[in-house]
Structure 1
């Protein structure tokens, strides 16, 4: 029965190709799935079996994959028909958002499609027989980039390139280009190339905009680090000196100024740490860090800061896992442990820390006995500018934690504690 089932699984998709106009007509995975009335994953698995058996051939084209039956007869060696059989026209139809055309072995254009006309602005009559270097900038032509691209494609079978390309009207766009060598079935010699071009201008402009924003944030980060924070530290030190000589009436005002100065220093430190995440997430040097050591340090700090709170560790913090992170990991847990007290509405906040480890990740759960997080806030509480309840804070604490954790490849979420309160769960991959 198993052999009969396997045979049927192979025969059904093969029958789909037998119904096409010619042996070499390609079909996309979605088209085969529709014919078989199954999902694309199932269709792809059955098609790959036929490829392994030599009954079909396949290749990726853009974001899709096409499949076709090999052509039995020998291809003609000369003429446009060699470069534009029915299967190529079907291929073009399957990826209509791309410019697709064929070059001969020397780089001269042999076919043209509607996508190429739309993207590059040339009618077919204007471009057939022209060299594909026409689409390159003068600088790239002078540097020999077109010739280098088809040479590499011939050597390696396929190359991918990104760069500026020129339209018929002289305007330019940012292109992602794939050049694939076409080889003769008999001797393997290169007989031409398929060139696929996609307009990536919008993506390029978005990346440049992000880079510009990153440069601005780096400037602000330097300003905060070297100017504002230094000035606040000087003010704090001077207030400490004044405190020693202030009379009782002035002492209260000095204490108030000192408290606000310390709050500003703390705020600036957190802002600086956040900008470190936003501006250097790709360049920061991460290292192996014992998660248990981090939690112990932050628990000691929290207990010393919030004497009214009770912190309880369920289980042991030994051997909870080594993660790849940096010093900002401590900032993340300091923020969560502080929030558990600062947003607590009980006289004796109780915070419980539990660590669970599996084969790939370690999860730290920080639970409190506060008011909890309403369901309507659970989806937005980690967004930038979101404040928890009526907090007078800045509204970027949990956003800051989320950015840090995700920079390490981790996740954070919030759920309800029992009988009341919230549980913040940080999951990090361990090594």
Structure 2
């Protein structure tokens, strides 16, 4: 990007203070030497809480390494950047996504002195784009599940009808009726999922405790112990995330007790779901979140844990499965924490 001599300073400050974009200046040590008032609107920090402090103060731990490596690269090369998307931490602990552009400022001796830049809040835009992509991926997955499961059901129906015609054994008609009901239930279930995805596009703040209490309220045959509280950013599908994991522990793992630990770690909300069930064999852990993957006697369409993984990726979080001691499994989910 173009070099700017020190004679070309920012235009008049009143204009800068009227902008919605965050205008800033930073020295070569990453210390902010100027900020307009928009930083408070975008990140919640007052100007005096930013100027004189390192820019690393504004980086969430979840993305600080990436930001640090990029900044080192630009400083070493003495160049600016354009439309770099980065995570920042709001004063309330939530995460913001800013689109940053900056130019290097050189003195009369051609020595790099500072960087000046402008950052725009694109959090809502990114979340909307991610939600749209998420919707398309899930509708595609729904179609795949329908094609796969209905094809299998039609094969069973065809076989049962053929056997009935050959043997006149009405038990094969019963099998046909059961399979037809199963197919209709699947179509109805997938239709509800599709409608939900299309009608719920926005992320919002959820209380972890409230979500979990809502999910477990009808599971009275299992003993639950919920510890801690936090708030995180997600959409309504988060209820299905926890429901699928807990159903997996109960139906597949035969768990009778489940402990849920909710922890805050700076910008992260960490939720660990520990059960006392049979656990998950090491040989299937790598496939556990794949679409259509089935295991155990109660294996169904295989969509549940795949949706968990897709949803957590959509939330810019993660999910992994671990072994519990002395037995059982642990599902560990990481969300972006909200203040």
The bucket for the TM-score relative to the shorter chain is 0.3 to 0.5
If the length of structure 2 is used for normalisation, what is the TM-score?
A: 0.46
Higher helix proportion: 1
TM-score of the pair, normalised by structure 1:
0.38
Between 1 and 2, higher relative CO (CA 8 Å, sep ≥ 6) is seen in 2
